[in-house]
Structure 1
Amino acid sequence: MRERFRPDNFEGMTDVISLSTKTNGSIPGRFRVASAWLLAVVAVFIAVLLYFAALLVTAQTTENAPLSYVVATLVALVCAIGLARLSVRLRGGHKTSRKWLTEGVCLTVSLLLAAGLSWTWFGAPATYTPLPDSPAVQYWDLPTGSRIGYTRTAGTVTHAEPVLLVHGGPGAPSTTNDEFAGRLAAAGFAVYTYQQVGAGQSSRLDPKDYTIDRHIADLEAIRQKLAAPKVVLIGSSWGGQLTAHYMAAHPDNVAKAVVASPGAMSSDSFSDGSLTPTGNSDQSGQFAKHTRFAATFFLAQVGGLRAARTLMPADTADGLYQQFVHSLNMSAGCPDTAEADRSADSTAGYSLWVNVATLASASKAADPRPALRHNSTPVLVLRAQCDYLRWEVTREYRDTFPQSTMLTIDGAGHTALADKPAETGAAVAAFLTGESLPAKPYIAAEAPW
């Protein structure tokens, strides 16, 4: 017989249904709670990311650091609170205390993290080493608006053309070429070691004014200051590149030129890079170690120079640049050669903003090679064995100038004039005076080592 319905049976069934509902509802409930807490954590990271986006965009557009930090903080505040409230709703909470607690935690953690990271990147000081004051330093006030610091090395001057040492970087004035300059002075030349605008003891400009054309104009103004119909240019690294561009713009104003470990003539010369494999490995490794410099350098390189200089003091940026360059192996072209220790002040006076801005300008400059192929100025090209730049970069100078001569320097790195001042000084002096060179010119297409 069918069992008659009884109230006590109904109560049992109700308990079973209730238990089943709670059990089945626990899965979506737990998922919702977990998602809510995950959103709260994600809110912190999104708020920090938007903080930096707002900080950089505002700094780039306004060049006002206080305003940039205010805008970035407001953006982070709105983001953190908004996502925190969404997290509370997702958990199904309606208690005011829960809402305020979640919002407070998200906001506090977001702002503390953003403030800590921005201080670590932009605010923390970095030791900057300026060039020491010296009574030997004199100044040219040029019609271009640049105030240029320089030193003059000379004995008995028997040659009319002044010699200008054009340093590398950009923004890396030489502090180690005194012996080399002295050897040229002993040969009868007046040697001027000048500090390009934006570096060393020379004047600083707004970064937008650091262009390759400005450096060319300064160099021409220096020639006119010296009242010299022609000058001798000796360019190292970037200085070799600047020398080439100057000669393309002023083909009749250079008596002779020397380029030592020169940088690539044109931005499209080597699309696959100008560094040797070991040079590239060394540079990449140092970028990984100097993450703060790397972040600043790449921010400036990709168009954020105004933001970078707005948020980071110049001395801090220059200090980071000095630390990075000091860590590089200038003899990385020889994998088995340990570089000699350099003094801490070997990068004194280095400046980052002029480096980034000038290189950006140079990358857009007209190719000088067509003009230089018809330039009859005698040019000495020095190739260092352990240079971290590829052989093809140096060879291009020899192959471009019709009146070029190449000599190789055994055991020297990228800073060949400082590494081997006796050898390079003798070779350059012989070239400038028309005497026999101390070695046979290198004419082969393949690398000499």
Structure 2
Amino acid sequence: MNSVFGSVFWLLVTLGVLVTFHEFGHYWVARRCGVKVLRFSVGFGKAIWKRIGKDGTEYQVAMIPLGGYVKMLDAREGEVDPALAGQEFTAKPVWQRIAIVAAGPAFNLIFTLFAFWLMFLVGKPDIAPVVAATPKSIAAEAGVRTGDRILSVDGREVATLSDSMDAVVNALLGRDPLPMQVRGSDGATRNLVLPLNQLPAGQDIGQYLDELGLKPAPTPAVVGVVLPGKPASVGGMQGGDRIKSLNGTAVDSYEEFQRLVPQEAAKSPTLAIVVDRNGSTLPLSVTARMESLEGQPTNWVIGVQFTQREPAVLRYGPLKAIGASFEMTWNSAASTFNMIGKMLTGQASTKNLSGVIGIAQVANASANMGIGWFFSFLALVSLSLAILNLMPIPVLDGGWLLYYLIELVKGSPVSERAMMAGQYVGLVMLFTLMGLAFYNDIHRFLPS
């Protein structure tokens, strides 16, 4: 799928699912509290589809998909028919109004648990947490070696590369020394400490990762399959051969070999390849050809497939997945609050914020990686929406909850004047936050 079209499509799927679930929370609890719901809208602006339900509620999908709303019978918005006075929102006890407002974020939290449960159930394909370190980087100086398998990060066991890197990324926000246990390619277990406190403050996660220098271990340049009739087969290459050099240039990884083949073949199609076969060094001559393999663009190829990294799948049974989903939700929420706290105190850069463009790109990437990855993405975005909406910012659910909590304390509603002032302040804060996130998205496209 085209990346732009795919990003737009999966963004709409993501927003459609999460907004519908969030607004359904408000709708469902409002109905249980006896409040008349006038309209249930997914999206803002002009309706592109709508119908009237048997309950009298107007259900619609609107043109601008960046949110939604539930419109309830409310005396603040006009006169209410005396026959419907008992179904009007502001006439309800404050605890019911709190429940109605809190239901949206609560349903996002429920969806987060459900999406993580589905992720564990169907499985999230990944690779083993085998890493390397960029020479002279912080990770290298801390003792990370090529081929080390991460066993735990900050005392928490990890089973996949994504788990281990997520734990490192979360730790980067605090920039405190990070203990890590690894097992080397020699089988020996070592305890290391990544001195994250050496990183300067105010950078984004990408810059921190570059300076840290911790990365997935390169794929060994070991031939898995030689395609019959292709140049490598004609040249005598066999499965299991470890490529040592190409045209005199040492080859340390599959990625390095893939880079060198078209580069050297453009000079001369005949390639001098040295391989290690069962401990013996063999020079081979392979003549590359320009062709397309499996629908890929035409390029110089020799017709080999390499042994890939060790796979690792995060998958549990239905019962174990329940506990794992709660743990994942708790850890993700703690990381999110940690990041918010660090940004508010200036310890983490606001460059880490992403807007609609960034979300769309990640949505497309996760969907292309498999259904397990997409469930994980949906869970994390749903959790973020729950946390964002609970922030005490007027115009968000958290702002209304703040008003109602004040009402509980003082015994009377917050004045309309104070509410209006709060709404203006909330709009400024919200648009500032959205503008900053959008700026970050655009800035990531620009050359550094």
TM-score category by the smaller chain? under 0.3
So what's the TM-score if we normalise by structure 1? 0.24
Higher strand share: 2
So what's the TM-score if we normalise by structure 2? 0.24
- From the CA coordinates, give the structure whose radius of gyration is larger: 1
